[in-house]
Amino acid sequence: MTPLLPRPVSWTADGTEVDFRGDFRVERVAGPAEGYRLSVTRADGVRVQASDAAGEFYARQALRQLSGPAAFRAVPPGPVRLPVCEVVDHPRFAWRGAMLDVARHFLPKHDLLRYVDLLAVHRLNVLHLHLTDDQGWRFECRRYPRLHEVGGWRADSRFGDRRSGGTTGRPHGGHYTQDDLREVVAYAAARHVTVVPEIDVPGHSQAAIAAHPELGASGGPVWTDWGINPNVLRADETAVDFYRHVFDELLEVFPGEVVGLGGDEAEGGDGRFVRRIAQHLVARGRRPFGWDEVLDAGPLPASTVVASWRGEEPGLRALERGHDVVMCPEEHLYLDYRQSDHPDEPIPVGTVTTLADVYRYEPAAADRVLGAQANLWTEHLDSPRRLDYAAFPRLSAFAEVVWSPPDRDEAEFLARLTEHHLPRLDALGVEYRPLDGPRPWQALPGVPGFPR
């Protein structure tokens, strides 16, 4: 059994070990993108053949895993013994993503940087940041500072499902400065993670409307509830031009090719808004990225990337129209959904999505999609500890789905996860959900959810 997670393309070992003295040599060779070959021998130490810089980075991640859980602590371990082995590896999909919703609950910058590290450990290479929503605006906009000054905080928050009527009774807020986000982008790039920002239009925009009431069909404060707010952006030229300026600032901070414009759950929204922002992004040399409702907005630029969240059928339809697709169906890859039907499961929302459910997911049209993405919506994840609980170890299982060959062995994965990978998460300080259920302090008794 290989100790690596995600599982590599091939693994051979003779059952012996050798002392590692830091003799690590790298050679560039032709091969699959992000691929590498790592050899540990008694005679030559550690040798790596990498097809590119990302391949070398992932080879170093593999070496870290082979060095044992202590290698994941802040203080470097003592003497290391490595298995004599050869690893050949490269990813299955180009897009191996995780979305963090920092709009519903703000994630401080140091915790965001920590998540970049956790994605890199798992060979995930896209961090999709959901920066704006009805409940908060997290991007510093210098031209329109009221967006983050007013839209960046709300007076209260729903606690538990909205049908229960419970609230926290305290304000919540925060935003990232542009310099903060440039730092996150650079930190992620050094770890071969691309940050894809999202500013949601024309729905999920109450925070912006609170700051600039003229943008909305009606006014009102930053929303303190969860669910779908019917108030949407006006589709007149003034509102669209306002957002063109906002996106222009966003493009100065995020150099990546793909930029999110939302487009989801906009009851009464006008498809012209989505189309014109998409056209503006293309004119600026970028690729629009939208949730699958954008398929109903009318003709979109051919370069638009579609995130298929309402099942996989919209993604298949997008492929037929010539769009690139990222699969992220909610029934499989929404990691805020409850992990069991046990009454101790904290704030049980959505359908049961177990570790095994995530591991068994196989993207439709796998040979034609860009890849897949796991989504972490944070209505009920109000702290880094709650985020850890929802994400792990399900995100570890997802990493294997999008990196490793499709011939998965669930029993072998569970053995490898338990013996090798959970101790790494322990060393990293990740407060994951134990396989047999929440620890007492991870449960939230009496906080109602809305299980489906």
Q: Which residues pair with 258 in a beta bridge?
A: 287
Peptide bond before residue 393 is cis, with ω within 30 degrees of 0: yes
DSSP 373-399: EEEE--TT--SHHHHHHHHTTHHHHHH
Both tokens assigned to 36: 């590498």
DSSP 182-194: HHHHHHHHTTT-E
How far apart CA 285 and CA 278 sit, in angstroms, is 11
Instruction: Respond yes or no: is residue 180 known to be catalytic.
Output: no
Name the active-site residue from 56, 89, 101, 133.
Answer: 133
Both tokens assigned to 77: 């371990």
Q: Which helix (H) or strand (E) holds 248?
A: helix 237-253
Name the active-site residue from 105, 204, 380, 420.
Answer: 204
How far apart CA 101 and CA 129 sit, in angstroms, is 6
State the amino acid at position 386 in one-letter form: R
| DSSP state for residue 69 in the 8-state scheme | G
Name the active-site residue from 149, 225, 265, 357.
Answer: 265
Instruction: Respond yes or no: is residue 248 known to be catalytic.
Output: no
C-alpha closest to that of 92 among 416, 413, 408, 411: 408
How far apart CA 87 and CA 10 sit, in angstroms, is 6
Task: Please state, in angstroms and as integers, the Cα–Cα distance from residue 328 to each residue in 10, 221, 325, following that order.
Answer: 27, 31, 9
Instruction: Respond yes or no: is residue 419 known to be catalytic.
Output: no
How far apart CA 96 and CA 111 sit, in angstroms, is 20
How far apart CA 314 and CA 354 sit, in angstroms, is 24
Sheet holding 80-89, edge to edge: 10-20, 80-89, 36-41, 45-50, 24-28
- Residues noted as catalytic: 133, 204, 265
